[in-house]
């Protein structure tokens, strides 16, 4: 009998039980580091050992107690980045260094060494404006930019490095005597989890013994930190208390709790810090379990002992300490020196790559459910969208479409003719996305299993046999060793789920840390990067399927730094409650600033049945989030958009149509993310880095630099308080065209059909004027331009356009990149990138100018062939808007519109 049948696996059983998961105090390497750090044992640089080898400066560091030499290497990396690596000088065996995340070997720049005051070394860039000051004893590095100490490393003395050892029992008496770095006495063995760590019924046997590492960073005058997804937490990182570190350990946490620092599906060990005038980043390249502690010390002013009549005062600047601890690997950390948020985004993507350019369809609306039952069901739901005039782009099939959860197969009864079903969707210019999990059912009649088994593609256990876990849905399974498989599929587009990896009845529902991967690496070393490889292999498989021609689309639940190169990420099993709608915003903002622009949350909430108002509000919010998919678990009521009465169908239709209308803007923003590393969804502080008030805002955000979105996330709301930043800015309500000066909070009345969206003065937003059944139906449809004037009466904007699916934009320069600028009452459409060519018959049909104070006497279009043509216009003095309709200005050619 199959395991899944032996034991009823019910969805309810999975509701988050925090006892299944460990908190810091139940993590042995955390306890060890805490205990050891309390002894305040210091490291010292051996200045005699400093050498310059190729592109790095190297030196030894020695701990006063253990005397084990560590080798430190410092690199200058192009684009104002420093890299610090610390490893054992001669480890018993190689320690894991994370491969495949950096897009290429980072190009280095020369650092010029010089001696500082006694006992210190200085490494400076060519210009001399960026320097590392290395103090020998105790070991400390100060990062200095233009005479300002931006960051200090190991100033709290939290450098920690467990060197690999011979198992206690196998050592000679002499070796045991010499061992002083950690307390290995028998009584302490269990508590410190050196060679063996228990958690409930699970025992983790550590063949390599303790191997954890740690280091502290003090960020001077920084009080606002962001990043290190994934947590269901606020956008601004909070201070951590005792035993309450942010955990980076990819786990399948069904219905995760919000406002919690426990690790959920993915990890990006990268944080950003921002203050007035500077943004910096720390990228800790380590794929083992990682904990991050954060502590801000506010600025203080001391009064020194009064010596004379006036008491002297001393100011201590505020700073935030960040303490990284990882279970294994080496210290490999990149310091991104900014100084602006865009510089930091560029620096990070220089290392890990930019957001993949998505196929256009994937920016439309996606309809998913666990599960659409059969081909008939799919057909009916698809028809429902047309019947109710609601656009959508992709139908999704969850695990039940397979033959007994054997991925890459079809249930023969329910999906007897999958090709025909796909043809139907294709005829509607829509797509199909199917799920594929990494657990492969053990079944000698299952071709995927047989192939993977024969080729040794499964993860192994300690005994060298294929690691057997229980796939949550399909019983006994082996796990594809993603780091050793190319991956290929016939099916259109893919959804990678359960790839933390989720192992039902495994420790914390995941894989034992001592399972063995290709290259003999323990799972412990690379746990957090498993999902990254799953998505990478899947995306590469899809590219191979089209012989390199077509862009893939792969949605993944688990991710790591650099996952942006392979597709989209969603926030997993959220709940149909208002609080989860609300938290989706900071969760997505955090993903966005750590490189992953293509992200979204299940619309409506995956678990439970949303009340109708919540569902409507969720569609409205989701329409303005990058990945837009409705999804629900089994046992929930059906919730296709037309099942809640005519009025609510209308509201959901409107929200989805707003999304489709804005697709030219979305696509252009994704192009910008792809080529220029700027996030699509941006926290306000990124666009307004000098406005303190924006630093902790997470109930509203910017979409690109032009639109400010403030989704309604409260039930029965009648008013929302919207902060419109920037004292020199002007903002326009996208529906009413009402206008406000920036730098104030305005009370916006909201009805159930209001989505508070504001366009920033000074921007031009391209839209589509007619909406089709899917993006495929809108290729030829006309454009509109929404020109919102700045206080100076000008604006700029862009449009990017290509075939929407292939790599020809890249290999054959088949794209159009247009620039719109409005200045001195003339709107100009010109090329933003002469390299690109793409024939398009599309025209700009409408132009709306917001904030035009004076009624024009005439409006004339001027085309590149020299022809002038007067056009009809409408001016509304009340809203100061000028509206031009029925234009026929080709999007691909240069032209001007003169307002006289």
Question: Residues interacting with ligand NOJ, by CB under 6 A?
Answer: 370, 398-399, 435, 497, 557, 572-573, 606, 631, 633
Cα torsion for 757, 758, 760, 763, to the nearest 10°? 60
User: Considering the complex, what minimum distance in angstroms separates the CB of residue 492 from ligand NOJ?
Assistant: 18
Question: In whole angstroms, how close is the CB of 266 to ligand NOJ at the nearest point?
Answer: 12
Nearest to ligand NOJ of 268, 435 (CB atom): 435
Phi-psi region for residue 413, left (φ > 0), alpha (ψ -120 to 50) or beta? alpha
Is 355 or 499 the residue whose CB approaches ligand NOJ more closely?
499
Tell me the HSE value of 159 on the side-chain side, using a 13 A CA sphere.
32
Q: Which of 197, 375, 497, 729 is catalytic?
A: 497
Least distance between ligand NOJ and beta carbon 265 (Å): 8
In whole angstroms, how far apart are CA 606 and each of 332, 652, 820, 841? 37, 18, 41, 41
Task: Using the minimum distance from each CB to ligand NOJ, give the nearer residue, 567 or 689.
Answer: 567
E strands, 1-79, are 43-53, 56-63, 69-77
Catalytic option among 500, 687, 700, 845:
500
CB of 524 to ligand NOJ, least distance (A): 24
H helix runs in 127-210, sequence order: 173-178, 186-192
Nearest approach in angstroms of CB 891 to ligand NOJ is 38
**Which residues lie closer than 8 Å to 251 by C-beta, 6 or more apart?**
21, 262, 263, 264, 265, 500, 508, 509, 510
Q: What is the nearest approach in angstroms of ligand NOJ to the Cβ of residue 631?
A: 6
Inter-residue contact 501 to 467 (CB < 8 Å):
no
The helix or strand, by DSSP H or E, that contains position 684, with its residue range, turns out to be helix 684-687
The whole-angstrom separation of Cα 436 and Cα 537 is 12
Nearest distance, CB of residue 498 and ligand NOJ, angstroms = 6
Inter-residue contact 182 to 210 (CB < 8 Å): yes
CA distances from 336 to 181, 291, 515, 677, 718 (A): 32, 20, 34, 14, 43
Residue closer to ligand NOJ (CB basis): 497 or 691: 497
Calculate the alpha carbon distances from 823 to 790, 795, 856 in Å.
Answer: 10, 7, 15
The least CB distance from residue 696 to ligand NOJ, in Å, is 30
Assess contact for 83 and 333: CB atoms under 8 A.
Answer: yes
Q: Measured between alpha carbons, how far is 499 from 557 in angstroms, rounded to an integer?
A: 7
- Marked catalytic residue, from 573, 691, 733, 802: 573
Query: Which residue, 256 or 324, has its beta carbon nearer to ligand NOJ?
Result: 256
- For the residues of 301-336, what is the DSSP string, one character each? EEEPP--SSS--EEEE--EEEEEEEESSS-EEEEEE
Is position 497 annotated as part of the catalytic site? yes
Nearest residue to ligand NOJ by CB is: 370
The two tokens of residue 190 are 């269990």
Nearer to ligand NOJ, 29 or 504 (CB): 504
Q: How many angstroms separate the Cα of 213 from the Cα of each of 43, 272, 829?
A: 14, 21, 55
Q: How far is the CB of 754 from ligand NOJ (least distance, A)?
A: 30
Choice between 132 and 607, CB closer to ligand NOJ = 607
Q: Minimum distance from CB of 435 to ligand NOJ (Å)? A: 6
C-beta of 382 vs 398, nearer to ligand NOJ? 398
Nearer to ligand NOJ, 397 or 516 (CB): 397
Residue 403 Ramachandran class (φ > 0 left, ψ -120 to 50 alpha, else beta): beta
- Distance of CA 776 to CAs 36, 661, 773, 891, Å? 61, 13, 8, 18
What contacts 578, CB < 8 A, 6 or more positions away? 614, 713, 714, 715
Tokens of 72: 């430190």
CB 279 within 8 A of CB 272: yes
The structure tokens listed for 558 are 């688990």
Q: Which is nearer to ligand NOJ, 407 or 820 (CB)?
A: 407
User: 59 exposed, middle or buried (CB, 10 Å; 0-12, 13-18, 19+)?
Assistant: buried
223 with 320: CB under 8 angstroms?
A: yes
CB 499 within 8 A of CB 557: yes
**148-153 and 213-220: which strand pairing?**
antiparallel
Compute the least distance from the CB of residue 598 to ligand NOJ, in Å: 17
Report how far residue 218's alpha carbon sits from residue 156's, in angstroms, rounded to the nearest whole number.
8
Q: Calculate helix-pair angle for 612-622, 646-661, nearest 10 degrees.
A: 10
Which is closer to ligand NOJ, CB of 573 or CB of 691? Answer: 573
* Closest CB 489 distance from ligand NOJ, rounded Å: 17
Tokens matching residue 463? 């005994």
Task: Verify whether residue 221 is a known catalytic residue.
Answer: no
Residue closer to ligand NOJ, measured from CB, 499 or 774: 499
Question: Which residues are the active-site residues?
Answer: 497, 500, 573
């Amino acid at each position: 009998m199959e395991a899944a049948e032996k034991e009823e696996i019910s969805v309810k059983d999975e509701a988050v039980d925090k006892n299944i998961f460990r908190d810091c105090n139940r993590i042995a390497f955390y306890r060890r580091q805490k205990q050891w750090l309390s002894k305040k044992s210091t490291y010292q640089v051996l200045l005699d050992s400093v050498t310059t080898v190729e592109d790095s400066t190297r030196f030894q560091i020695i701990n006063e107690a253990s005397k084990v030499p560590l080798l430190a290497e410092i690199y200058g990396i192009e684009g104002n980045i420093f890299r610090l690596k610390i490893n054992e000088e001669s480890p018993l065996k190689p320690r894991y260094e994370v491969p495949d995340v950096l897009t290429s070997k980072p190009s280095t720049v020369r650092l010029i060494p010089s001696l500082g005051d006694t006992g210190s070394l200085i490494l400076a860039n060519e210009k001399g404006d960026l320097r590392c000051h290395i103090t020998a004893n105790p070991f400390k590095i100060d990062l200095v930019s233009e005479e300002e100490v931006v960051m200090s490393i190991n100033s709290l003395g939290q450098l920690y490095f467990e060197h690999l050892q011979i198992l206690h029992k196998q050592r000679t008496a002499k070796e045991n005597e010499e061992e002083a770095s950690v307390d290995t006495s028998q009584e302490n063995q269990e508590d410190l989890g050196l060679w063996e760590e228990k958690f409930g019924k699970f025992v983790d046997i550590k063949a390599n013994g303790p191997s954890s590492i740690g280091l502290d960073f003090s960020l001077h005058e920084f009080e606002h930190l962001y990043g290190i997804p994934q947590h269901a937490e606020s956008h601004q990182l909070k201070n951590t208390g005792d035993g309450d570190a942010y955990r980076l350990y990819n786990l399948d946490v069904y219905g995760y709790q919000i406002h919690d620092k426990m690790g959920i599906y993915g990890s990006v060990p990268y944080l950003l810090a921002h203050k007035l005038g500077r943004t910096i980043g720390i990228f800790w390249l380590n794929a083992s379990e990682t904990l991050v502690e954060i502590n801000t010390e506010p600025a203080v002013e001391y009064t020194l002992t009064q010596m004379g009549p006036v008491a002297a005062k001393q100011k201590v600047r505020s700073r935030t300490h960040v303490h990284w601890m990882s279970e294994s690997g080496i210290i490999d950390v990149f310091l991104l020196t900014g100084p602006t948020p865009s510089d930091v985004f560029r620096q990070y993507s220089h290392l890990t790559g930019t957001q993949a350019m998505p196929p256009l369809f994937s920016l439309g609306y996606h309809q998913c459910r666990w599960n659409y039952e059969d081909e008939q069901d799919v057909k009916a739901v698809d028809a429902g969208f047309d019947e109710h005039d609601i656009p959508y782009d992709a139908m999704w099939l969850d695990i039940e479409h397979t033959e007994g959860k054997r991925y890459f197969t079809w249930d023969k009864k329910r999906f007897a003719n999958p090709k025909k079903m796909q043809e139907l969707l294709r005829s509607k210019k829509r797509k199909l996305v199917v799920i594929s999990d990494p657990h492969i059912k053990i079944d000698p009649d299952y071709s995927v299993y047989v192939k993977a088994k024969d080729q040794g593609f499964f993860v192994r256990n300690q005994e060298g046999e294929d690691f057997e876990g229980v796939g949550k849905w399909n019983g006994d399974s082996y796990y594809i060793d993603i780091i050793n498989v190319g991956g290929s599929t016939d099916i259109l587009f893919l959804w990678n789920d359960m790839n933390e990896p989720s192992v039902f009845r495994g420790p914390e529902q995941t894989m034992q840390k001592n399972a063995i991967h290709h290259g003999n690496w323990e799972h412990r070393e690379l746990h957090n990067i498993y999902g990254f490889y799953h998505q990478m292999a899947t995306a590469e498989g899809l590219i191979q399927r089209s012989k390199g021609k077509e862009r893939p689309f792969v949605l993944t639940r688990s991710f790591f730094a650099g996952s942006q190169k392979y597709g989209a990420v969603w926030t997993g099993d959220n709940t149909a409650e208002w609080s989860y709608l609300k938290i989706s915003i900071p969760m997505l903002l955090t993903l966005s600033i750590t490189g992953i622009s293509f992200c979204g949350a299940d619309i409506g909430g995956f678990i439970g049945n949303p009340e109708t108002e919540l569902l409507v509000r969720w569609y409205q919010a989701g329409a303005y989030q990058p990945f837009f998919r409705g999804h629900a678990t089994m046992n929930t009521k059906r919730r296709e958009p037309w099942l809640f009465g005519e009025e609510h169908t209308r509201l959901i239709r409107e929200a989805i149509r707003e999304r489709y209308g804005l697709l030219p803007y979305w696509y252009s923003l994704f192009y910008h993310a792809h080529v220029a590393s700027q996030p699509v969804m941006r926290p306000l502080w990124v666009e307004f880095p000098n406005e303190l008030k924006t630093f902790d805002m997470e109930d509203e955000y910017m979409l690109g630099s032009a639109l400010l979105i403030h989704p309604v996330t409260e039930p029965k709301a009648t008013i929302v308080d919207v902060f419109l930043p920037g004292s020199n800015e002007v903002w326009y309500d996208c529906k009413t065209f009402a206008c406000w000066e920036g730098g104030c909070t305005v009370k916006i009345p909201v009805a159930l059909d209001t989505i508070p969206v504001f366009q920033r003065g000074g921007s031009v937003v391209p839209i589509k004027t007619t909406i089709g059944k899917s993006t495929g139906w809108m290729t030829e449809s006309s454009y509109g331009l929404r020109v919102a004037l700045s206080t100076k009466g000008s604006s700029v904007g862009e449009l990017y356009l290509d075939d929407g699916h292939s790599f020809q934009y890249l290999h054959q320069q088949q794209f159009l990149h247009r620039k719109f600028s409005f200045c001195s009452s003339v709107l100009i459409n010109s090329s933003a990138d002469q390299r690109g060519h793409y024939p398009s018959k599309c025209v700009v049909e409408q132009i709306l100018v917001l904030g035009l104070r004076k009624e024009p006497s005439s409006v004339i279009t001027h085309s590149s062939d020299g022809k002038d043509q007067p056009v009809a216009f409408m001016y509304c003095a009340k809203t100061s808007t000028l509206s031009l309709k029925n234009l026929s200005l080709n999007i691909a050619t240069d032209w001007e519109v003169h307002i006289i």
